[in-house]
Structure 1
Amino acid sequence: MYERRFAFRHPVEDRSAVPTGDGDRPGPGHGRFGRPYRSEPTRIHYDTTMTRTTVRVRGIYTTALTKLLEESDGSGTESEDEPIEVVQASDPIEERFDDPFAAVPADIRIETTRDRQGIEVSGAPDDLERVLAELEGLAIDTFRWDDGTPRGAVFDAEVLEAGGGSGAVVDLGDGRRGYLKYDDVDGYVGEGDRYRVQVDEPTPPWDGDEPRVRPTLAVGGGLCTLSRDRTGVSAAASGEAGTELVGMTDLLSTSIPEGWGLRWKRAATDADLEAMETAVERAVDRAEDLEAAIGDAPDEPGEPGRIAAPRRTAWCWFGRESRFALDDHRRAVETTMPGHHRIKAADRAASAAVDFAEAVGASGADGEAAFPFDAVSRQFGPTTGDRLEIGHGKPDGRRISLGYGEVTEWDADGSITLERSMRGGGTYDALGTPKEEGDVAITKFREGRWWYPTTYKSADGETKGTYVNVCTPVELFPDAVRYVDLYVDVIRTPDGAVEIVDADELEAAVDEGLVSEELAEKARNVAEAVERALSK
């Protein structure tokens, strides 16, 4: 937690010459929503006894999460007197909110995952739990998992596979794996070699990649990083701003420990000396704590296993309802079209199109209009003829591919039909009918629906049964169908018998804390409704 005194912000340029606009455009001296631009230096005062959990947010969910976290009051947590504060905001975020954001160290970092399906939340354990308590309550299909290989954790590792590609797979102990790039290692890397490594880039549980590890040590201070593979002082910012940061470091009273190099992040260019001092103090404290944590370990790496994990990492996966809930938070501060986050999560190229539509005043910006599946799928997919994967998520964080199929039917209402060719051998799950060469699986999906049916047919068209999967609301992305399976399913056998199956697996998931009781009740209700419909 960061104890507040005060912080100075750099002056914001006077924009009073902005011409008068129409509609949502600003008038003279005002921001996008008629707020005055700040043309004078802003001094932010804080209660000196108040501690706050500070959070840095980046990615496509930033505006919505900033609104959500800034409104949190800690109710329902053990830290009701410790509000959450977003810091180190980007320029667009500064413009969208009334109050200024401090350029101070962040306790927690939140970043959108590479596939845009969710977020990484990393930081100090106690602070992390405080933030996660707010995020978990976003919507019924928000899932959260802790990472066994958190950012910054130190492991002794042994190379399992080497020789191909640009890196080696390493054993981190207890079934954990990591990816070590050859360029990060001095000399040849061979199977059986051992290294002491640190997690540099963790990966979400639904991602097939291993977390990237490096054979060095580094710690962050919110605005800066101390690392063993650097010397002296440097800055990520180029030009005069970077030179100024390096020079100002000499004015700080905290000394950089021997064997560590300091690098300032870009956000430090907006910080004052007090915030810079705090950042370096934090980094030095963390470096000393990390050295103490690994101090009892042998100098040479031993059997694979975790040596130290001073920070925690958790992952939040956003389902369709979560993304629409985020739309509502964003809509409170900025023009937001229906399905804003759903569209941006589908394709990186969609961001520009969404921004353009909102800039010119998207219809239905109040959220009442339906998600524009027709326009989105025509532009980015999926549509007839596309090849689509079924990405079967599990409540424990795994993502299983159920294979690929061809979109044979498409409708503007958000419905598609996917056909897959099946291999022979075994029987169909729960149905008991044999799988044979030439069989076809015909699956009908509809955007936003809590279930989908798959009918299995033989080569001559004979129906072998129907399996209805109950899941979180389906999302039809350009390359994959995404949802999280809720265990309970409904089957109809070839003779017409209808039955709910795997209800015990749902109950077990609730007992294990993988599925909330609210979500489980929704799944039961959906299964019962499907059972009644199939029995008619």
Structure 2
Amino acid sequence: MSVRVRGIYTTALTQLLHEEEGVVQASEPIRERFDATFPVAPARATVETTDDRQGVGVAGESATVETVTDHLESVGIDTLSWSDPAPTGAVFDARVEETKRSGAVLDLGGSDAGVEGWLHFSQVDDEVEAGDTLRVQVREAAAPWSDDRPSCTTTLSVDAELARLVRSSGGGATTGGVELASLLPTDPREGWALRWDGRADDADLDTLGATVDRLNERAAALDALDDGVGNPGRLTDGLATTWCWFGRETRFALDAIRREVTPTMAGHHRAKAATNAASAAVDFVEAVCGDAGETGGEFPFGALTRQFGPTAGDTLALGHGKPAGRLIVLGRGEVTEYDPSGAVTLEREMTPGGRYDALEVERRAGDVAVTKLKEGRWWYPTVYRGSDGERRGTYVNVCTPVELFPDVARYVDLHVDVVKHADGRVERVDDDELDEAVAAGEVPEPLAEKARAVASAVENALR
């Protein structure tokens, strides 16, 4: 097996995967850090940090993706993973659901809930409108917790690590300027144009030849598809893709793995996940203090939040992750209290209408929700009060350890919760939903056991 790794988790994941699976195409800093030789060879899977830095996507050959995902899941109890129903490279017959200013929302078929895609108008030659049917290919997959739909195109292509073939009416023109390419015994498939990646310059002749052979084989499979566009649904698999969301405990476990290779401050990955702006600060701290061995110690929550937030007066959202992979923003509020040791109090004004879950109390105009969030804690309480200050009930959410990022508190809800009614009654709720999530493979049993233990402790404390 061979794996290519990119993003803020690269050093730790290279250390984790190098001996077991083999890492290829390493960057210059990684080669220097490991003092090792990494071959320039095609990768059977790529591990890349998501745009929001909350985890990684693993894409490639299914067996390798499965093995790498197993390694990632073993790092920490709060790593969760999901298979992508619309992975990069997959071909779909699609129907246009609606058009917007810059593109169209596509129905890609799939599960009962359906899978949606996004087609930017720059990716299609003709005008499209609602009800049209198209054959599209996923150009870029999207993590399930993101707000993005997978980006699609009507131009079919097949990709390898060192080159790609693009279907072209102009035939198989080759670009990229690889010196050894003229010596290859295999030409690109008729009707497809070959595009070499810059990394191919460092590959040997056998590797280049194997790349073209593999691309031609995959292009032939696309040529074999029927021309007619049918009902929405997936026609080819594309790259097997798994998304892994890293919780706080996993990030700190990755710190320990990275520390085996190079000086690493406490909370290295936690800080870098918070904001891109923090990355340079983390690198500076480790460069200045690393040789003196002063990068350990406690996670500098106060220093990080005073520089980047959240602090008193900031607006903070509740990023309520679900075990199925979705992210729901429960609302935004003002940080009314800030403790540099790792806690904030968030106040939200509630809109009237409906009832509070489990409390079975009507939501009224003037109600205020006061939420106390502590970094690293497996639960958080929200107290609902009426306009007259009367306590209307308390809801304690059991979740993966809370992370307080500059504009959002992040965690994954673990279903089971504890409520305390206005009359003092304490009730534990939604154990059945947690059991169902375990049965569905959404929550690993060790994580579920942790959630149940936390719920029991909270329940006893409230009685």
Structure 2 match to 1:28: none
1:67 equivalent among 15, 22, 26: 15
Q: Residue 364 and residue 167 in structure 1: after superposition, are their counterparts in 2 closer, same or farther (change >3 A)? A: farther
- Deviation at 1:501? 1.3
Asked if structure 1 preserves the Cα contact closer than 8 Å seen for 2:184 and 2:205, the reply is: yes
Structure 2 match to 1:180: 119
Structure 1 match to 2:382: 454
- Deviation at 1:486? 0.6
Structure 2 match to 1:290: 222
SS at 1:328 equivalent: helix
Spell out, residue by residue over 1:431-479, the C-alpha distance to the aligned partner (whole angstroms, 9 max, x if none). Answer: 1222100000000000000000000000111001111000000000111
- Deviation at 1:368? 5.0
Asked if structure 2 preserves the Cα contact closer than 8 Å seen for 1:217 and 1:228, the reply is: yes
> Do residues 520 (structure 1) and 448 (structure 2) align?
yes
CA distance in 1, matches of 2:199, 2:254: 25
For 1:46-85, what aligned pairs fall within 5 Å after superposition?
53-72=1-20, 84-85=21-22
For 1:161-200, what aligned pairs fall within 5 Å after superposition?
161-162=98-99, 164-174=100-110, 175-200=114-139
SS at 2:142 equivalent: coil
Q: Considering only CA atoms, is the larger Rg found in Structure 1 or Structure 2?
A: 1
SS at 1:309 equivalent: coil
Structure 2 match to 1:265: 197
Q: Residue 137 and residue 417 in structure 1: after superposition, are their counterparts in 2 closer, same or farther (change >3 A)? A: same
CA distance in 2, matches of 1:457, 1:269: 66
Asked if structure 2 preserves the Cα contact closer than 8 Å seen for 1:328 and 1:367, the reply is: no
> Do residues 491 (structure 1) and 419 (structure 2) align?
yes
For 1:22-37, what aligned pairs fall within 5 Å after superposition?
none
SS at 1:448 equivalent: coil
2:173 equivalent among 214, 225, 232: 232
SS at 2:356 equivalent: coil
Q: Residue 186 and residue 374 in structure 1: after superposition, are their counterparts in 2 closer, same or farther (change >3 A)? A: same
For 1:145-164, what aligned pairs fall within 5 Å after superposition?
145-162=82-99, 164=100
Q: Residue 367 and residue 491 in structure 1: after superposition, are their counterparts in 2 closer, same or farther (change >3 A)? A: farther
- Deviation at 1:110? 1.3
Asked if structure 2 preserves the Cα contact closer than 8 Å seen for 1:331 and 1:366, the reply is: no
Question: Which residues of structure 1 form unaligned runs of 5+?
Answer: 1-52, 73-83, 236-242
SS at 1:360 equivalent: helix
> Do residues 142 (structure 1) and 93 (structure 2) align?
no
SS at 1:358 equivalent: helix
CA distance in 2, matches of 1:118, 1:153: 22
- Deviation at 1:532? 1.6
- Deviation at 1:300? 2.9
SS at 2:362 equivalent: coil
- Deviation at 1:167? 1.2
CA distance in 1, matches of 2:134, 2:437: 37
SS at 1:280 equivalent: helix
Spell out, residue by residue over 1:250-296, the C-alpha distance to the aligned partner (whole angstroms, 9 max, x if none). Answer: 1111111111111112322322222222222222222223333x2xx
- Deviation at 1:155? 0.5
Higher relative contact order (CA 8 A, sep 6+): 2
For 1:182-331, what aligned pairs fall within 5 Å after superposition?
182-229=121-168, 231-235=172-176, 243=177, 245=178, 247-292=179-224, 294=225, 297=226, 299-331=227-259
Q: Which amino acid aligns with 2:8?
A: I
What is the TM-score when the length of structure 2 is the normalising length?
A: 0.96
Q: Which amino acid aligns with 2:49?
A: T
SS at 1:336 equivalent: coil
- Deviation at 1:221? 2.4
Question: Which residues of structure 2 form unaligned runs of 5+?
Answer: none
Asked if structure 2 preserves the Cα contact closer than 8 Å seen for 1:337 and 1:364, the reply is: no
- Deviation at 1:114? 0.8
- Deviation at 1:485? 0.5
CA distance in 2, matches of 1:454, 1:68: 39
CA distance in 1, matches of 2:255, 2:293: 10
2:405 equivalent among 477, 482, 486: 477
> Do residues 111 (structure 1) and 60 (structure 2) align?
no
SS at 1:349 equivalent: helix
> Do residues 415 (structure 1) and 351 (structure 2) align?
no
Q: Residue 426 and residue 526 in structure 1: after superposition, are their counterparts in 2 closer, same or farther (change >3 A)? A: same
- Deviation at 1:365? 6.0
Cα RMSD for the two superposed structures: 1.6
Q: Which amino acid aligns with 2:367?
A: D
Asked if structure 2 preserves the Cα contact closer than 8 Å seen for 1:337 and 1:365, the reply is: no
Asked if structure 1 preserves the Cα contact closer than 8 Å seen for 2:53 and 2:273, the reply is: yes
